[in-house]
Amino acid sequence: MVIRKAKLKDAGEIYNLINHYAKEGILLPRSLNSIYENIRDFWVCEEGGNLIGCASLHIVWEDLAEIKSLAVSEEHKGKGIGTMLVEACLKEADELGVKRVFVLTYAQGFFSKLNFEEVEKIKLPHKVWGECVNCVKFPSCDEIAMWIDLEKVSIKHDAKV
């Protein structure tokens, strides 16, 4: 099992992973176009030639990034893959000089274990909400906003990614 940056050839499998959960309303859907355009944001987990997880780190502003499209295939949940993908994103964010990373999620317990804290949505920059008008959940978003302050936590830079 390896955690690595995505390549263009991964786009189709990333699409399937995300949209599996999008159909259940747990994740926002992503088009193939949006995955190709943002392929450099993505981390993937590969096992035996198949993608079994993905996550993306999207830069929002000078000090802020968002974790989006985190998905682990149903058969591989509970093996620490989601944790490894988030850690890879946080390590990359730290290396880029990002101070805070936020997520809009229903998996509050998962992110709490990774030291994310709930934050009032109003504290996120307006730019974030500019994108919301294009979201399928707009205007009744019930996702929970959480963030982590990378200056207050120690990021594992020895992670094997």
Binding site for ligand COA (CB under 6 A): 21, 26-27, 70-72, 77-83, 103, 105-107, 109-110, 113
Q: What is the C-alpha separation between 156 and 150, in angstroms, rounded?
A: 11
Q: What is the C-alpha separation between 38 and 48, in angstroms, rounded?
A: 25
**Residue (62 or 118) nearer to ligand COA, CB:** 118
**Residue (80 or 125) nearer to ligand COA, CB:** 80
For ligand COA, the nearest residue by Cβ is 82
Q: Are 97 and 123 in contact (CB under 8 A)?
A: no
The nearest distance, CB 32 to ligand COA, in angstroms, is 19
The residue with tokens 């290396």 is 95
- Helix and strand counts by DSSP (H, E) for the chain: 5, 7
Q: Are 45 and 53 in contact (CB under 8 A)?
A: yes
The nearest distance, CB 144 to ligand COA, in angstroms, is 10
**Residue (103 or 150) nearer to ligand COA, CB:** 103
The nearest distance, CB 99 to ligand COA, in angstroms, is 20
Q: Are 21 and 71 in contact (CB under 8 A)?
A: yes
The nearest distance, CB 24 to ligand COA, in angstroms, is 8
